[in-house]
A and B are shown apart, each in its own frame.
Chain A
């Protein structure tokens, strides 16, 4: 738990780790010199598109893949050379891989038995794990008599039972259907809180990452692009990749006209409007930059004479249930996506071809690195 001050060091410390899969002609660099730390009792998520190296990193933490360069530490101790069975870390694999010849109970008790815990403890701990995942009445079933969701929960209980210091989860929900997946998100989050075990969760699903995690590492091409809370990475993406991968982003071109300590002033290419954006990255005057704004921060209205507004024509309208998404072509040809909530008093509906004004609140603009 957080109150445990005997662990001053991070749960997991990834120190300049590189992974190269050797190959005669095409060696693959799966991870390129990454470094970051995962705190004790954190729900930490590795998020990124398929092939970015999430599984590779998780398997290296678990001990299933060698480290080409660098070091992985568990509470300050180098574990890089330990076998998987020597690491107090357990994994929930993407394929649940319950042992088919064991009952649910035997599956969950497996780790405790190997650790040589005494019979009485194994029994109570296994039973309390089955309780935790609400599977107590299935203890004597074989895995092939369980549904996918139940198998998933047993795999989770099996990995939790030995009370590992860190639990690794590799896209554990991806094989479940939508409703079950949403329910399991809550349950996982809940179990993490109850057990106080550090979770490292891998997913390519941004919604999953945003709803569950304390912190998220956004990865692409074997590199960590940004680490932060859900709000950090959604609201303050550091670069194009993060802005585009998490949610939707409008990216506008601009030119720096003034750079202060905490803000820069820039001229939007679209209409020559002047905007001031908070940013602690200093820029040179005259430098070309990209600024980002989320679709729901944009206000669309009937044509107005306001100076800061951009003018455009509605090119497409998609109804999305709670929202309506509008695609607007600005006068300079740039395309912008905006979202409006569908409330009862939304006023006169907009139609395709309408001339509109697009208002961009300055405080919602973000400067992106390339």
Chain B
């Protein structure tokens, strides 16, 4: 029996629609994961369970290429995440804790605008920018582009966290003889830390899986994991791509889970 309060919140058809959405969202991922263990070069016919494609990823003819791309991706993602998180933290402090200044609302818009600009537009614009100033395209150009587009992603969780910290904590610290520097180091920064960590992880993931902008601004011969995968797929889909995809999926999933627990830890402290 459905009790009365449940019946009020029950709409015919909604359950089916929700299920359909979930299937559409997750079925492709699940199929990729399953077929990455397929003991056959076919990507559609199941022949049995095996790790051959994972072996292929690490030891096959394309292994060197994927390894280099992974190293590039990680270097870029870590550097871009660290830099953009630092910039985002400074901006959040200026926007939320600093004095009000002229054009504050516009600045807020400018920080978040890149989230709404179509990525392809950003990609083309960045490419034109690098070309017009004669900047050599390579790892450095990718890194600069990533730092820039990661800032708004890092900014959001950091700003949200900072907004939730009442001014009074800093006032108490100042009252108890802390200098402005000590107040930041001993009180504000530790209290912001969960937001900063989530901002960092978000920036890291966004950088790690970016394809469009990277593809435009990367030099010839320089690959990140997504561009390397795309390059491989263009020559026909082999199940080793599925294995790589599955590995990336697991890595992302782990990071998101860590981010979730960090942010929850922060909430419990409040």
Chain A residues near B (Cβ < 8 Å) = 62-64, 83-85, 89-91, 93, 95, 97, 99-101, 110-111, 114-115, 142, 144, 158-159, 162
* Min CB gap A56→B, angstroms: 14
B99 close to chain A: CB less than 8 A:
no
* Min CB gap A274→B, angstroms: 58
CB <8 Å contact, A99 and B187: yes
Q: Cα distance A99–B171 when bound, in Å?
A: 11
CB <8 Å contact, B168 and A93: yes
Q: Cα distance A89–B175 when bound, in Å?
A: 8
B163 close to chain A: CB less than 8 A:
no
Question: Can you name 27 A-B residue pairings with CB atoms under 8 Å?
Answer: A62-B175, A64-B174, A64-B175, A83-B174, A84-B171, A85-B174, A85-B177, A85-B178, A85-B179, A90-B175, A90-B176, A91-B171, A91-B172, A91-B175, A95-B168, A97-B171, A100-B191, A100-B270, A101-B269, A110-B178, A111-B176, A114-B177, A114-B178, A144-B269, A158-B172, A158-B176, A159-B176
**Other-chain residue from B171, B182, B191, B269 in contact with A114 (beta carbon distance below 8 A):** B182
* Min CB gap B152→A, angstroms: 28
B255 close to chain A: CB less than 8 A:
no
- Name the residue among B171, B172, B174 with the largest chain A CB count within 10 angstroms: B172
* Min CB gap B185→A, angstroms: 12
* Min CB gap B252→A, angstroms: 29
A110 proximity list for chain B (CB < 8 A): 173, 176, 178
CB <8 Å contact, B166 and A97: yes
Q: Cα distance A99–B168 when bound, in Å?
A: 10
A97 proximity list for chain B (CB < 8 A): 166, 168-169, 171-172
B190 close to chain A: CB less than 8 A:
yes
B235 proximity list for chain A (CB < 8 A): none
Q: Cα distance A83–B181 when bound, in Å?
A: 14
CB <8 Å contact, A93 and B171: yes
> What is the chain B residue whose CB lies nearest that of A90?
B175
B59 close to chain A: CB less than 8 A:
no
* Min CB gap A64→B, angstroms: 6
CB <8 Å contact, B172 and A93: yes
A93 proximity list for chain B (CB < 8 A): 168, 171-172
A111 proximity list for chain B (CB < 8 A): 176-177
Q: Cα distance A62–B176 when bound, in Å?
A: 11
Q: Cα distance A93–B173 when bound, in Å?
A: 12
Given the contacts A93-B171, A99-B169, A114 and B176 also touching, CB distance less than 8 Å:
yes
* Min CB gap B97→A, angstroms: 15
How many residues on B have C-beta within 8 angstroms of the other chain's C-beta atoms? Answer: 19
* Min CB gap A351→B, angstroms: 52
* Min CB gap A198→B, angstroms: 16
Given the contacts A95-B168, A97-B166, A162 and B270 also touching, CB distance less than 8 Å:
no
* Min CB gap B99→A, angstroms: 13
B257 close to chain A: CB less than 8 A:
no
B268 close to chain A: CB less than 8 A:
yes
Which 7 pairs of residues, A with B, have the shortest CB-CB distance? A111-B176, A114-B177, A84-B174, A97-B168, A100-B269, A85-B177, A101-B190
B168 proximity list for chain A (CB < 8 A): 93, 95, 97
* Min CB gap A170→B, angstroms: 10
Q: Cα distance A12–B26 when bound, in Å?
A: 69
Q: Cα distance A89–B166 when bound, in Å?
A: 22
Besides A85-B176, A97-B172, 18 new A-B residue pairs in contact (Cβ under 8 A), listed by A number: A63-B174, A63-B175, A64-B175, A84-B174, A90-B175, A90-B176, A91-B171, A91-B172, A93-B171, A97-B169, A100-B270, A101-B190, A101-B191, A101-B269, A114-B178, A114-B182, A144-B268, A159-B176
Residues 236-270 of B at the A interface (beta carbon under 8 Å): 268-270
- Name the residue among A63, A84, A158 with the largest chain B CB count within 10 angstroms: A84
Q: Cα distance A99–B177 when bound, in Å?
A: 15
A84 proximity list for chain B (CB < 8 A): 171, 174-175
CB <8 Å contact, A85 and B270: no
Q: Cα distance A84–B178 when bound, in Å?
A: 9
Q: Cα distance A134–B182 when bound, in Å?
A: 30
* Min CB gap A224→B, angstroms: 25
B176 proximity list for chain A (CB < 8 A): 85, 90, 110-111, 114, 158-159, 162
**Other-chain residue from A62, A91, A115, A142 in contact with B177 (beta carbon distance below 8 A):** A115
Residues 46-93 of B at the A interface (beta carbon under 8 Å): none
B174 proximity list for chain A (CB < 8 A): 63-64, 83-85
Residues 127-185 of B at the A interface (beta carbon under 8 Å): 166, 168-169, 171-179, 182
Q: Cα distance A110–B182 when bound, in Å?
A: 11
A115 proximity list for chain B (CB < 8 A): 177
A90 proximity list for chain B (CB < 8 A): 175-176
B190 proximity list for chain A (CB < 8 A): 101
* Min CB gap B36→A, angstroms: 43
* Min CB gap A147→B, angstroms: 16
* Min CB gap B168→A, angstroms: 4
* Min CB gap A214→B, angstroms: 24
B178 proximity list for chain A (CB < 8 A): 85, 110, 114
* Min CB gap A90→B, angstroms: 6
Q: Cα distance A178–B175 when bound, in Å?
A: 29
* Min CB gap B186→A, angstroms: 8
User: Residue-by-residue, is B183-204 near A (CB-CB < 8 Å gives 1, otherwise 0)?
Assistant: 0000100110000000000000
Q: Cα distance A159–B169 when bound, in Å?
A: 13
Q: Cα distance A63–B175 when bound, in Å?
A: 8
* Min CB gap B229→A, angstroms: 42
Q: Cα distance A95–B190 when bound, in Å?
A: 20
Q: Cα distance A101–B270 when bound, in Å?
A: 9
> What is the chain B residue whose CB lies nearest that of A116?
B177
